[in-house]
Structure 1
């Protein structure tokens, strides 16, 4: 997962105050382990720990909370039922869904993201696994700190992005001093393939962008979204239902065809290579890049080598800087990069990294990205 400093802008809370978290899980053992994992970092304080959604709502009346870690399956009130009530009870609250990697829980987690949850984390299936899971602890802390920082209001409510289904404003990322963005000219070549990278907030952003353009551009679209296995299977199904365009996890050796969407499967990097006159998908389990597998950078590197100036890349909301190095190679090969803007990103890490590196031809609100891509693809070659 992304480096903590790049994900949250630093290791300390704003003005020295620790980030305030509530843990909601019906298992006292898991609550204790989550609390200890979080409080290993002095920038995080667990101010409430409760066993169900009803108690979580009551806890909001007594505590100033910025992030909730919310289990799915609980007695009295489950996580999906509690989610809209928590969001309504406190404006700016960030909720991370925690679930084991079953298909049922992954489906519920995706529904929760569409209903306003900011992120999700796959929960190890046993307390012993959780105790030894350094990767899980780092991912948990990174997400909590990045999202807690985002919950601290730094801009007018009118500029805040909204979740796709609930239309509830989502709080923006904390604004550091404004960084200069220098744009470059888009490639004169017509795009022949589209690559998209995303992470935190990505499922919602992907659906908005793809609904607007996937069926119209008639090009192959390759996506790397930071997600574990099972989640990526379900996300592909959601994308296909939302767009009407065939979408599935990429399969090793399959030929890339126009009019299809290929999603990197969880725990595999998805790249492409030339095979005669065709381009084929290749999957590998090479070491994580930017703490991620799948990672955006290897996908972009492989695409840039084959498509050069005909590659159009879009970097959406997400923690860290995955996609920055790959976008540099896209630009060096003559391709075009578009990034989501800060105001509509849940976390302006990945898009901010490419935008402030001078790699982008446009930095746009989420609602303008689909139309911009359509315009670049459909313009006359003349």
Structure 2
């Protein structure tokens, strides 16, 4: 799975000084590598380099880190056991789980998210693997900077209040890097009656009127913080799923998407699976873009079918949200309704512009409930949203819209 790398701008230093990062891994090679990377960044410093979760718990008060990069498999006390103990001692600690790519570790990473970890990152199977270390390096630094920076600004990165994610049984993997964490402020889409401001952050941003057409499909794009947000939304989305297809692109690699689809099925109590190339799109089902493939839709006779694309990354991601959004406008035009949830970067904004230009509607998650207000913030600042809502208001709003409410 190829991922394009991009340079990241360095935020200006704050009065609090550089971000303090605690590296916890039983591999001296990995600890040394990550410590060198952090040490070369002007806005972060290695606060401690430790071998076990027990050392991390015992030294937390002395080290006082802003961010912990926590391995899963370690002696004495592994990452999943250390996680709640670390958060009990310092609730605003940003914990990024790191693991090698096994099915078990992928499932543990999901469990860690429900226990309060801010994010996860896969370690390359071999640091000699061409490009693997570079991707790991870039993605890790971006996550530390973005999540650690937000925690400093707002006090902490609040975990999503989503249903517990119990480990199911199927395949695993590595998250696609989600680069360009800044909120992009592109030019707004032309005209359209503006609607009253919705509840949630984003006050003062223009709102567009919802489409006059009844929506026939729900498209969802998400990234960092997305699994928990998706779980929360689909739990109360039964009336929509029963009558309309739901297509989701979450920035995530192959085995993780398999597991996520199982969790979505359990939370929604509706059929959910990784999309299959050529399968018809039907009401009553959730289709998830498989890791490493862009998901699109196309006409095949009288049917709308899934098209999986193995092309290059879009917005540095594969799967990406924009290809799904763009292709949907050709099928459903103004009956397209898109939701952009928490995530780094601006993926979904360009596709969202196309949806609005075709007469459809876009909803974004608000800043206060987003782990990272990159993707939804880009859409909100582009002026393409008909509503900017807190996470707990999104499902009820969708149910009303698909029942005929146009306000």
* TM-score scaled by length of structure 1: 0.91
Match in the other structure for 1:40: 40
1:164 aligns with 2:162: yes
**2:213 alignment partner, one of 181, 186, 189:** 189
Q: Please name the residue that 1:206 is paired with.
A: 230
- Residues 118 and 159 in structure 2, CA contact (< 8 A), matched pair in contact too: no
Q: Quick check: 2:235–2:268 contact (8 Å CA) kept in 1?
A: yes
Residue equivalent to 1:99: 99
Deviation, 1:217, is 3.9
For the residues of structure 1 that align with 2:49 and 2:14, how far apart are their CA atoms? 23
Query: 1:36 and 1:129 mapped to 2: Cα distance?
Result: 19
Runs of 5+ consecutive residues of structure 2 not aligned to the other structure? 165-180, 185-200
Q: Provide the secondary structure at the position in 2 that maps to 1:259.
A: coil
* Structure 1 residue 67 displacement after superposition: 1.2
Q: What is aligned with 1:270?
A: 295
Write the deviation string for residues 298-352 of structure 1: whole angstroms up to 9, x where unpaired: 1110011211111110000001111111111111111110000000001111010
Aligned to 2:104, what secondary structure does the other structure show?
Answer: helix
Describe how 1:66-105 pairs up with structure 2 within 5 A. Answer: 66-105=66-105
Number of equivalences: 370
Whether contact under 8 Å (1:297, 1:325) holds in the other structure is yes
SS at match of 1:128: coil
Q: 2:332 aligns with which of 304, 307, 313?
A: 307
Does the residue aligned with 2:254 lie in a helix, a strand or coil?
coil
> Residue 151 of structure 1 contacts residue 174 of structure 1 at CA under 8 Å; is this kept in 2?
no
- On the 8 A contact 2:163/2:231 being kept in 1, the answer is no
Contact 2:202/2:380, CA 8 A, preserved across alignment: no
Q: 1:162 to 1:216 in 2, by over 3 A?
A: same
**1:130/1:38 Cα in 2 relative to 1: closer, same or farther (>3 Å)?**
farther
Once the two structures are superposed, what CA deviation does each residue of 1:126-176 show, in whole Å capped at 9, x if it has no partner? 232388522221111111110011110437x8x96643358xxxxxx9999
Instruction: Please tell me whether the aligned partners of residues 18 and 42 of structure 2 are also in contact (alpha carbons under 8 angstroms).
Output: yes
Cα distance change, pair 20–3 in 1 and its aligned pair in 2 (3 A): farther
Gaps of 5+ in 1: 167-172
Aligned 8 A contact 1:69 1:98 in 2: yes
Q: Does 1:342 align with 2:367?
A: yes
**Paired position in structure 1 for 2:312:** 287
1:326 aligns with 351
Q: 8 Å contact 2:240–2:398 — kept in the other structure?
A: no
Asked if structure 1 preserves the Cα contact closer than 8 Å seen for 2:315 and 2:346, the reply is yes
**Which stretch shows the higher mean deviation, 196-205 or 82-91?**
82-91
- 1:53 aligns with 53
Q: Distance in 1 between matches of 2:109 and 2:127?
A: 21
| Residue 230 of structure 1 pairs with residue 255 of structure 2 | yes
CA contact (8 A) 1:152 1:174 kept: no
User: Are the aligned partners of 2:97 and 2:119 in contact in 1 as well (CA < 8 Å)?
Assistant: yes
Query: SS at the partner of 1:146?
Result: helix
Flag the structure with higher helix content: 1
Distance 1:131 1:327 in 2: 32
Q: Judge which range, 338-347 or 125-134, deviates more.
A: 125-134
Contact 1:3 1:320 in 2 (8 A): no
TM-aligned CA deviation for residue 232 of structure 1: 0.5
Evaluate the alpha carbon distance shift between residue 10 and residue 165 of structure 1 in structure 2; reply closer, same or farther with a 3 A threshold. farther
In 2, are the aligned partners of 1:267 and 1:294 still within 8 Å (CA)?
A: yes
Question: Is the Cα–Cα contact under 8 Å of residues 324 and 354 in structure 1 kept in the other structure?
Answer: yes
The DSSP-based 3-state class of the residue aligned with 1:38 is helix
1:69-89 C-alpha deviation (Å, 9 max, x unpaired): 111111101111111111111
